[in-house]
A and B are shown apart, each in its own frame.
Chain A
Amino acid sequence: MSWILLVEQALNGLQFGVMLFLMAAGLTLIFGVMGLINLAHGSLYMVGAFAAAAVAAATGSFVLALIASLAAAALAGVLIEATIIRRLYDRDHLDQVLATFALILIFSEGTRWAFGSFPLFLDRPEALSGTVSLPFGIEYSRYRLALIGVGLAVAAGLFWMIAKTRVGIRIRAGENDREMIAALGVDISRLYTLVFALGAALAGLAGALIGAIQSVQVGMGEPVLILAFVVIVIGGIGSVQGALVGAILVGLTDTLGGFLLPKAFALFLSPAAATSVGSSLASMSIYILMAGVLLVRPKGLFGGA
Chain B
Amino acid sequence: MKLKQLLVTAACTALLATTVQAEGVKVGMITTLSGGGAGLGIDVRDGFMLAVEQAGRSDLEVVIEDDQRKPDVAVQLADKMIQSEKVDVLTGIIWSNLAMAVVPATVAQNKFYLSPNAGPSALAGKGCHKNYFNVAWQNDNLHEAAGAYANTAGLGNSFILAPNYPAGKDALTGYKRFYEGALAGELYTKLGQTDYASEIAQIRASGADSVYFFLPGGMGISFLKQYADSGVDLPVVGPAFSFDQGILQAVGAAALGVRNTSQWSKDIDNATNAAFVESFAAKYGRLPSLYASQGFDTANLLISAMDKADVADQDAFRAALQTADFASTRGDFAFGPNNHPIQDIYVREVIQEGDVFTNKIISVGLEDRGDAYAADCKM
Type the 1/0 row for B245-281, where 1 means its CB is closer than 8 Å to any CB of A: 0110111100000000000000000000000000000
A23-31, A68-76, A176-184, A209-217: which lies at the interface: A209-217
Cβ–Cβ < 8 Å partners of B352 in chain A: none
Q: At the interface, yes or no: B181 with Cβ under 8 Å from chain A? A: no
A33-41, A123-131, A153-161, A162-170: which lies at the interface: A123-131
Cβ B218 vs Cβ A215 within 8 A: yes
Cβ B198 vs Cβ A255 within 8 A: yes
CA distance A119 to B225 in the complex (A): 13
Cβ–Cβ < 8 Å partners of A123 in chain B: 225, 252
CA distance A141 to B188 in the complex (A): 23
Q: At the interface, yes or no: B36 with Cβ under 8 Å from chain A? A: yes
Q: At the interface, yes or no: B192 with Cβ under 8 Å from chain A? A: yes
Cβ A219 vs Cβ B201 within 8 A: no
Cβ B246 vs Cβ A118 within 8 A: yes
Partner of B225, one of A117, A213, A218: A213
Q: At the interface, yes or no: A89 with Cβ under 8 Å from chain B? A: no
Cβ B205 vs Cβ A141 within 8 A: no
CA distance A129 to B217 in the complex (A): 24
Minimum distance in angstroms from A274 CB to a CB of chain B: 10
Cβ–Cβ < 8 Å partners of A114 in chain B: none
Interface centre among B197, B225, B230, B249 (most CB of A within 10 A): B197
- Given the known inter-chain contacts A5-B202, A144-B197, A213-B229, please indicate yes or no for A219 contacting B36, CB distance below 8 A: yes
Q: At the interface, yes or no: A283 with Cβ under 8 Å from chain B? A: yes
Q: Which of B36-64 contact A (CB under 8 A)?
A: 36, 38-39, 42
Minimum distance in angstroms from A28 CB to a CB of chain B: 22
CA distance A214 to B252 in the complex (A): 12
Q: How many A-B residue pairs have CB under 8 A?
A: 126
Type the 1/0 row for A113-139, where 1 means its CB is closer than 8 Å to any CB of B: 100011111011000011100000001
Q: At the interface, yes or no: A61 with Cβ under 8 Å from chain B? A: no
Cβ–Cβ < 8 Å partners of B2 in chain A: 109
Q: At the interface, yes or no: A280 with Cβ under 8 Å from chain B? A: yes
Q: At the interface, yes or no: B315 with Cβ under 8 Å from chain A? A: no
- Given the known inter-chain contacts A214-B221, A214-B222, please indicate yes or no for A283 contacting B229, CB distance below 8 A: no
Q: At the interface, yes or no: B189 with Cβ under 8 Å from chain A? A: yes
CA distance A120 to B221 in the complex (A): 10
Minimum distance in angstroms from A8 CB to a CB of chain B: 5
Cβ A279 vs Cβ B222 within 8 A: no
Cβ A217 vs Cβ B36 within 8 A: yes
Q: Which of A1-31 contact B (CB under 8 A)?
A: 1-2, 4-5, 8-9, 12, 15-16
Cβ–Cβ < 8 Å partners of B198 in chain A: 9, 12, 255, 258-259
Known: A141-B229, A213-B229, A215-B221. 16 other contacts (CB 8 A): A2-B205, A5-B201, A5-B202, A12-B197, A108-B35, A109-B34, A113-B1, A120-B250, A131-B229, A141-B230, A141-B231, A215-B194, A215-B222, A215-B250, A223-B194, A258-B189
> Can you report 27 A-B residue pairs in the complex whose CB atoms are below 8 A from each other?
A1-B205, A2-B205, A9-B197, A12-B198, A16-B197, A112-B38, A113-B1, A118-B246, A121-B252, A123-B225, A124-B229, A129-B229, A131-B230, A139-B204, A141-B230, A214-B194, A215-B194, A217-B250, A220-B36, A220-B218, A271-B186, A275-B188, A276-B164, A279-B164, A280-B164, A282-B190, A283-B164
Seen from chain B, the residues whose Cβ lies within 8 Å of a Cβ on chain A are 1-2, 34-36, 38-39, 42, 164, 186-190, 192, 194-195, 197-198, 201-202, 204-205, 217-218, 221-222, 225-226, 229-231, 246-247, 249-252
Seen from chain A, the residues whose Cβ lies within 8 Å of a Cβ on chain B are 1-2, 4-5, 8-9, 12, 15-16, 108-109, 112-113, 117-121, 123-124, 129-131, 139, 141, 143-144, 210, 212-220, 223, 255, 258-259, 262, 271-272, 275-276, 279-280, 282-283
